[in-house]
Amino acid sequence: MDNTVLYRVSEGVATITLNRPDVLNAFTDAMLDGLSDALKQAERDAQVRCVVITGAGRGFSAGQDLSDVKRREAETGHAVSFAEHLRHKYNPIVMRIRTLEKPVIGAVNGVAAGAGASLALACDLRIASDKASFVLAFARVGLVPDSGMNYFLTHLVGYARAFELAATGGRLGADEALRLGVVNRVVPVAGFADAAQGWAGELAQSATRAIGLTKRAMNRGLIASVEEVLEYEAFLQEIAGRTADHQEGVSAFLEKRAPQFTGK
Ligand code: LHQ
């Protein structure tokens, strides 16, 4: 992993920091590989019970590094296949975030544009600084939204609002994002990192196995029929019901004390 993506684990929380602050953490191939590796590491490490993705400096991520595309085209003498680039680099990252059985928080410290905004929306939860914004930059450069944006934004805000944002390439500020339900929380930029870590810390102390299963259940819920969801819930509850955390949760309730969850 090169230093364009930083990875740190502390008290059950893996923090992945996109680290090309001079260009608002725009993505190069190496950085996308680094992000993918970091997510794999967080997935494998049983100590990790919550993941935070954030950006260094004043941006979250400005999406694809557009100069990098131009540079590669100049070097090779032929056009980069965007379809292949998405299939091989961005899409697997989005799927990894969605299938990772641990909560993933997008800690949107500043502007999130293009595929950077898609990445933030792929996370399960979002906390934004009051300086953050979402820019659906795709239309501004003559492209369609990608990296899951057409799925995530339409589900979050409905078709008409999503379409308007995409078609105009407009900027959605933090407060408006909160009002529309695009982010869960907005906090002042001064205490932002601590607020994000605090929230992640709470999740990392909870019954994280059940939360991972909840993520599976809700992702299925977005696309399945009521009947299928009911059956899937029964299947997952069988698993959750056999966890140590379920036993601990019930014991703590009956003994009128706070539960001590281990994520097992
Ligand atoms: C950048 C970038 C950037 C390079 C800021 N690249 N340098 C997927 C697969 C395949 C192909 C194509 O695309 C995709 C998906 C996508 O992500 S398409 C969308 C790509 N992203 C954009 O079009 C966003 C471009 N950036 C912007 O519109 C602005 O920079 C935003 C609105 C994000 C922020 O504006 P400001 O706060 O005014 O900052 P700035 O524009 O001054 O940027 C700061 C620096 O970062 C600047 O460099 P400089 O040397 O002048 O200081 C920018 O050139 C650089 N930068 N985004 N994507």
Q: Mean pLDDT across the stretch 20-28?
A: 98
Domain-by-domain residue ranges, the chain?
5-204, 208-254
Q: How confident is the model at residue 170 (pLDDT cuts 50, 70, 90)?
A: confident
Q: Which residues contact 257 (CB under 8 A, 6 or more apart)?
A: none
Find the residues whose C-beta lies inside 6 A of ligand 1: 23-24, 26, 62-67, 69, 82, 85-86, 111, 113-115, 135, 137-138, 140-141, 143, 146
Residue whose Cα lies nearest atom 55 of ligand 1: it is 23
Write the pLDDT tens digit of every residue in 45-78: 999 999 999 999 999 999 999 999 999 999 999 9
Atom of ligand 1 nearest to the CA of 65: 6
**What's the fold here for domain 208-254?**
Lyase 2-enoyl-coa Hydratase; Chain  A, domain 2 (1.10.12)
156: number of Cβ within 10 Å: 16
The CATH homologous superfamily for domain 5-204 is 2-enoyl-CoA Hydratase; Chain A, domain 1 (3.90.226.10)
pLDDT on residue 159: 98
**Separation between Cα atoms, residue 187 and residue 41, nearest integer Å:** 29
Q: Alpha-carbon distance 162 to 153, whole Å?
A: 6
For 194-204, how does the pLDDT look when each residue is reduced to its tens digit (9 = 90+)? 999 999 999 99
Residue-wise pLDDT tens digits, 218-239:
999 999 999 999 999 999 999 9
Query: How many CB atoms are closer than 10 A to CB 109?
Result: 26
The H or E element that residue 15 is part of is strand 13-18
* pLDDT per residue as tens digits for the range 85-96: 999 999 999 999
pTM: 0.97
Given the structure tokens 């589900």, which residue do they identify? 155
Q: Is the pLDDT of residue 1 over 80?
A: no
Q: For residue 19, how far is its CA from the centre of ligand 1 (angstroms)?
A: 14
* Averaged pLDDT for residues 90-108: 98
How do residues 137-156 score in pLDDT, each as one tens digit? Answer: 999 999 999 999 999 999 99
